Chain A
Amino acid sequence: MASPRITTFQGNRNFRLLIVLATLSGKPIKIEKIRSEDLNPGLRDHEVSFLRLMEAMTNGSSIEISYTGTTVIYKPGIITGGSYTHQCPPGKPVGYFVEPMLYLAPFSKKKFSVIFRGITASHDDAGLEAIKWGLMPVMEKFGVRECALHTLKRGSPPLGGGEVHLVVDSLISQPITMHALETPQISSIRGVAYSTRVSPSMVNRMIDGARKVLKSVGCEVDITADAWRGENSGKSPGWGITLVAETKKGWRYFSEGIGGAGDVPEDLGAQIAYELLEEISNSAVVGRNQLALAVVYMVIGKEDIGRLRITKSQIDEKFICLLRHIQEIFGTEVFLRPVDDEDSDDLIATIKGIGFTNSNKKMA
Chain B
Amino acid sequence: LQASKNRKKKWDIGKLIYMNNISPADCIKRWRGEAEDETVSDVESETEEDFFKQRAAGSEKVGVDDDLEKFKPHFETFKKLVAKWSSADSIKHRFLGAPKASAAHE
Question: Which residues of A come within 8 Å of B, CB atoms?
Answer: 11-16, 35, 37-38, 95-96, 99, 123-126, 130, 183, 185-187, 213, 216-219, 248, 256, 267, 270-271, 274-275, 277-281, 287-289, 315-318, 320-321, 323-324, 327, 333-337, 347
Contact = CB atoms under 8 A, between A and B. Distances in A.
Contacts of A38: 58, 62
Contact of B17 (A37, A99, A126, A324): A324
B14 A289 contact: no
Contacts of B95: 185-187, 217-219
A256 B99 contact: no
Nearest to B87: A216
The 5 closest A-B pairs by CB, nearest first: A274-B81, A320-B24, A288-B73, A317-B24, A37-B58
A37 B68 contact: no
A278 B94 contact: no
Do most interface residues of chain B lie in helix, strand or loop, or is the interface mixed? helix
Interface residues of B, number: 43
A274 B13 CA distance: 29
Given A275-B75, A275-B81, A315 B31 contact: yes
Interface of B: 13-14, 17-18, 20, 24-25, 27-28, 31, 54-55, 58, 61-62, 65-66, 68-76, 78, 81-82, 84-85, 87-88, 90-92, 94-99, 102
A320 B62 CA distance: 19
A279 B73 CA distance: 9
A125 B18 CA distance: 28
B71 A99 contact: yes
Which of A288, A317, A324 gathers the greatest number of chain B CB atoms within 10 Å? A317
Contacts, number: 127
B55 A278 contact: no
A37 B65 contact: no
A327 B88 contact: no
Contacts of B96: 185-187, 219, 248
B84 A278 contact: yes
B10 to A, nearest CB: 12
B98 A219 contact: yes
A219 B13 CA distance: 36
B71 A323 contact: no
A308 B18 CA distance: 19
B90 A324 contact: no
A216 B91 CA distance: 11
Nearest to A284: B94
A92 to B, nearest CB: 10
Given A217-B98, A323-B18, A333-B18, 15 more contacts: A12-B66, A13-B69, A37-B62, A185-B96, A186-B96, A216-B88, A248-B96, A256-B72, A274-B84, A275-B81, A279-B73, A289-B71, A317-B28, A324-B24, A336-B14
Which of B62, B78, B85 gathers the greatest number of chain A CB atoms within 10 Å? B85
Nearest to A124: B70
Contacts of A187: 95-97
